[in-house]
Structure 1
């Protein structure tokens, strides 16, 4: 099923994921102290994965990859800026580093190694092409909707590989029909399957949200095979993403996990961007939803030895700006997302369509 967002738009534009049209800048979790045992490099790269960039730098200074710290993995087909750390004793050697695809923009020091997840979010700059006349107005309208409502927090295509089938291998590993000896590859493929299940669940919830836009609660219950009365009061919630009894929420953009009790009260807090609903990334030692929310969630839950998590189902987009360059038919777009979120979710809302898996 192709899901259409309630923006009354179907917008066509061209986006090329390339260093010329796509820039990502990491926002550090904290300020670096300027002193300590770790050298902090603010690095700009293009047409390289973060791992490829780390391999080049670690090879140059003569250390193992694991001695270099990083906060997150950045797109290959983009101009990306991020911070990495390495032992401060290599300060003099790194001063002479040169590479056609890597530029060190700043050097400082810190008392800790950068760890995975040590970032607030990412700032994106995107150039859309072949934007003509009415399309510009549609993009303006879409940005206004996103600013007010936010976007679904699907995992991006990067999780699923070039041909989008990594999750299939992850499923085979769990079924015992595929063996991968390398531990990191093994965990990565299962992680891809976890991401796939989350996306499938979120698509189902998006389907429910969209049905409630067009049909009554009773009709939606019938279409979705839910118990009679289970959606009572959901349609009058002010926000697009409707909360269900038993949903697990978290304070936004981070905080404590808790279960929905008074739906209308929590819907108002969600609308004010104080809290947000979460979805299940299946795995062990992870809290499950209850009630009607669990009825939907359980369809996309599987036992696996990897740790699971609760992931925000819906995120807010901040610092949104759009500029139309009429003579080039370009639309220059910038925005900030919390860590772990993908720019493709914003672009899919602007196109007027949801991701398909």
Structure 2
């Protein structure tokens, strides 16, 4: 049985990808080398709770580099003698980076192995503790990023200070980053990244049998469409400009409300970054927006009607995501030939969406 809803026609609005989405902070400050070595991109996970120290679930704090999260989870499952379904994590982390994250293992009535004997090149279990509940996807406050950009000799303090100050004040468009869309082909950089290429096959009616690849393709397609909504809204209505009929999100939560009128209280909350404008994550059901914003969102959905139809047919529901992203605790240090940046982002947000507002990234690692 084919689990992929088959579109009636071939794609009339094919996916395109060239990182064409609108920037808001002006021209790039230069072309800088990114991820020359794992220590140049360090990601540290922040759970939304503290492990209790007891319970049926073992929590492992793991350092990894040049390995993807799912691969490490598979090896932890094999080492501990658990089925893969009993090894969980709150979020996937970059492969080409040094990352620190938690893995959760359901080990009720099972003997805990000696974690010192875990052997996987590129991964190290730093500590183990326990918790009374399962580690679930999304159970994060966010992630801390430390980024080193190299070949920055053309950059001066005045330039970087002004740009970072602008980012702190205005934020950046909350685009999904390139990692969501998959790797580009070295032999054909113009081709769709891997996950989007699979998504295009689904749009053309092809069945993706591998469940993990299918899930990543669907996620990439929905993310690509969200980026299109932000880009077109900036071009058409302006960056994060508030309208009656906007759906607002309470900062740091999944609470939303409809802005029916714009008063001083709303303006103050916007200025304090207590609330923010959202764009749709497409799925079945009605748009939560109204008036001008609903008309705009409906118009863009018609342009991408096949993509919207597929996402709805797959059972995804209408959701919202913040349009603007504000890095917290953002600092920088400029050396002779490198720029070091440090900042915190909410869960599900991408460091590359911040970095692209500074410069053009030249990734220097083997894929």
TM-score (norm 2): 0.81
Q: 1:38 aligns to what?
A: 57
Q: Kindly tell me: are residues 191 and 57 of structure 1, through their superposed partners in 2, closer, same or farther at Cα, counting changes over 3 Å?
A: same
Q: Is the 8 A contact 2:240 2:323 kept in 1?
A: no
Contact kept, 8 Å, 1:12 with 1:135, in 2: the verdict is no
TM superposition shift of 1:277: 1.2
Aligned to 1:11: 29
Q: 1:6 to 1:119 in 2, by over 3 A?
A: closer
Give the 3-state SS of the residue equivalent to 2:92 in structure 1. Answer: coil
In the aligned structure 1, how far is the partner of 2:95 from the partner of 2:279?
28
* Residue 344 of structure 1, aligned match among 352, 355, 358: 352
The Cα RMSD (Å) is 2.3
Q: Which runs of 5+ in 1 are unaligned?
A: 213-239
Indicate whether 1:197 and 2:194 are aligned.
no
- Quick one: higher RCO (CA 8 Å, sep 6+), 1 or 2? 2
Residue 125 of structure 2 corresponds to which residue in structure 1? 104
Is the 2:24–2:172 Cα contact (8 Å) retained in structure 1? no
Structure 2 residue runs of 5 or longer lacking an equivalent are: 1-18, 185-192, 362-367
Match of 2:329 in 1: 319
Compute the displacement of 1:172 (Å). 4.1
How far does residue 174 in structure 1 lie from its aligned partner after superposition?
4.5
Where 2:114 maps in the other structure, the secondary structure is helix
Q: Verify the 8 A CA contact 1:61 1:93 in the aligned structure 2.
A: no
Corresponding residue SS for 1:331: strand
Deviation at 1:2, TM superposition (A): 5.4
Kindly state the Cα deviation for residue 251 of structure 1 after the two structures are TM-superposed: 0.6
Aligned length in residues: 321
Q: Post-superposition shift, 1:284?
A: 2.0
The 1:134–1:92 alpha-carbon spacing in structure 2 relative to 1, beyond 3 Å, is closer
| Distance in 2 between residues matched to 1:279 and 1:97, nearest whole Å | 44
Q: What CA distance in whole angstroms lies between the structure 2 residues aligned with 1:324 and 1:83?
A: 32
Q: CA deviation at 1:150?
A: 1.4
Distance (Å, rounded) in 1 between the aligned partners of 2:320 and 2:287 = 8
Change (3 A) 1:81 1:181: same
Question: Cα 1:318–1:107, aligned 2, differ >3 Å: closer, same or farther?
Answer: same
Report how far residue 207 of structure 1 moved.
Answer: 1.7
Cα distance in 2 for partners of 1:130, 1:162 equals: 24
The two structures have a TM-score, normalised by structure 1, of 0.83
User: What is the Cα deviation at residue 285 of structure 1?
Assistant: 4.2
String of CA shifts for 1:268-303, please: whole Å, max 9, x gaps: 321210101111111124643222212222213613
The residue number in structure 2 matching 1:169 is: 198
